[in-house]
Homo-oligomer: A and B are copies of this chain.
């Protein structure tokens, strides 16, 4: 069964370690394809180079804005161990590298390992009481998801930014609009698919990601993801954004952190 995500991240092997894909405009924020989407394409290629493993931790450094169109992916297998393997992936468009990824893959199947959870899924109202995404203008990527926001985190979008809230935080349900279930390959995209939470405290604009790291902690069960994204520190022209993604079974499935530039009017 085809899905927008599977179609738009598909890559084919051209030679060992060399893959070809197409960046579509369906995951754009303004004119620019989303960074989590690019990371997902890289993970698809890494999954062909090193099959049968789960992505555990991956970092993407964004060098130049991508454009919709062909992309080639060069995967270097750095180390292939029994339990862990590490690879680097270069995304190239028109001969220029746009994104570099460093990823370690392994297994999420550890049995009997110790468990400690200091925190649970984000508090959210029932889906029926959560709100559609803040807008306008809707960005193209927003059409790929169903998102339902906790109204408590949307005061800035509903009432304006007259009073700056204490927290730059967004809590929401997310799932693919076409019904595709979340999985370990799509979690990097879910980790970067909501509006920047910093919009609660700073006027919206383009927030270009410098670096995004995603830890995948479990395989999600089908259904909504419960997500919490927050920015705690804006200084020196940069901000961090932290994310937690939980599945309908109450499992933590991913943690994310990115370093991004403060909102600007320039694309």
Contact = CB atoms under 8 A, between A and B. Distances in A.
Interface of A: 56-57, 59, 61, 63-64, 78-79, 81, 84, 86, 88, 97, 100, 102-104, 108-110, 113-119, 164, 166-168, 198, 201-202, 210-211, 213, 215, 217-218, 230-240, 252, 255, 257, 259, 262
Q: Determine the main DSSP class of A at the interface with B.
A: strand
Contacts of A201: 116
Contacts of A235: 113, 115, 117, 217-218, 252
A86 B252 CA distance: 31
29 contacts: A56-B210, A57-B61, A57-B210, A57-B211, A57-B259, A61-B102, A63-B79, A78-B97, A84-B210, A88-B102, A104-B210, A109-B236, A110-B236, A113-B234, A113-B236, A113-B262, A114-B202, A115-B234, A116-B198, A116-B201, A116-B231, A116-B233, A118-B166, A118-B231, A118-B232, A119-B233, A213-B213, A215-B238, A233-B255
A121 to B, nearest CB: 12
A234 B114 CA distance: 7
Contacts of A63: 78-79, 81, 86
A214 to B, nearest CB: 10
A257 B257 contact: yes
A118 B240 CA distance: 12
A203 B56 CA distance: 24
Nearest to A54: B236
B61 A104 contact: yes
Nearest to A64: B79
A75 B198 CA distance: 34
Contact of A211 (B104, B108, B232): B104
A57 B260 CA distance: 10
- Can you list the 9 inter-chain pairs with the closest CB atoms, starting with the nearest? A110-B237, A59-B59, A116-B234, A113-B237, A118-B232, A57-B211, A63-B79, A102-B102, A57-B259
A117 B233 contact: yes
Contacts of A78: 61, 63, 97, 100
Contacts of A57: 61, 210-211, 259
Contacts of A257: 213, 215, 255, 257
Taking each of A97, A100, A116, A215, which has the highest tally of chain B beta carbons within 10 Å of its own beta carbon? A116
Contacts of A230: 118
